Amino acid sequence: MGYARSKNLTTYDVLIIGSMIEREVQVPKERKLVAAVIYNRLHGGMPLQIDATIRYATGNFTKPISPSELQVNSPYNTYTNSGLPQGPIGNPGLASIQAAAHPAQVPYLYYEVKPNTCGEHTFATTDAQFNRAKAAYDRARAANGGNAPTPARCAG
> Is residue 56 within a helix (H) or strand (E), and if so which, with residue range?
helix 51-58
% residues pLDDT > 70 (the chain): 99
Q: Is pLDDT at 155 greater than 80 in this prediction?
A: no
Instruction: Encode pLDDT of 29-65 as tens digits.
Output: 999 999 999 999 999 999 999 999 999 999 999 888 9
What distance in Å separates the CA atoms of residue 13 and residue 103, rounded to the nearest whole number? 14
